[in-house]
Structure 1
């Protein structure tokens, strides 16, 4: 029973970053660095770079945290790591909220 409680608590702690809600307005002010690859509204015109408008806030947050920690590799991972390395957790949450709020225009 104790092992199960510890496991549940550990899983909950790991999921906290994805449960946080960011501020889309604050994220918009940080989004300028994303425009070159992901487009002004999060809709990329270059197939190499994904459109991120309308993606799940939790997914975007998790992805940026993974890039920052070096947990993603291949493709443009090193470029993304360089971009997100200077972002705080709050910045990441705000950017995720901003792009999630852009609707489903990219898909």
Structure 2
């Protein structure tokens, strides 16, 4: 009886999870993961920001600014090199993914 109740609780919890919680990572996510960690939630250095849960519009703006050489402070050189090969569609996909984490 107890196992049956526990199964129902677990299945109910899974059923009500937002779809964004299980969103599939975009193809270029591995590039970001190398510094910002899995799902953008575990940066490899304290100075690197968490991307998980960040505002989508901010992420799009920041990544495009790095890619286009408009942002010059902090880790701009590293970020510019990483973002250089990203298309607008790549950036949108990454921003969608990280903002939903």
Fold shared, TM-score > 0.5 on shorter chain = yes
Q: 1:49 is paired with a residue of what secondary structure?
A: coil
Q: Which residue of 2 aligns with 1:85?
A: 84
Q: TM-score, normalised by structure 1?
A: 0.67
Cα distance in 2 for residues equivalent to 1:45 and 1:79: 14
Mapped pair 1:30 → 2:7: no
Cα distance in 2 for residues equivalent to 1:90 and 1:75: 25
Q: Which residue of 2 aligns with 1:49?
A: 48
Between the two structures, name the one with larger relative contact order (CA 8 Å, sep ≥ 6): 1
Mapped pair 1:101 → 2:71: no
1:2-31 CA deviation, whole Å, 9 max, x = no partner?
xxxxxxxxxxxxxxxxxxxxxx64x52210
Q: TM-score, normalised by structure 2?
A: 0.71
Cα distance in 2 for residues equivalent to 1:75 and 1:60: 16
- Largest Rg, 1 or 2: 2
Cα distance in 2 for residues equivalent to 1:52 and 1:30: 14
Cα RMSD (Å) of the superposition? 1.4
Cα distance in 2 for residues equivalent to 1:28 and 1:93: 10
Q: Which runs of 4+ in 1 moved over 4 A?
A: none
Give structure 1 stretches of 5+ with no counterpart: 1-23, 103-107
1:31-62 CA deviation, whole Å, 9 max, x = no partner?
00111210112112421211110001110000
Closer, same or farther in 2 for the Cα pair 1:71/1:51, shift >3 Å? same
Give structure 2 stretches of 5+ with no counterpart: 1-22
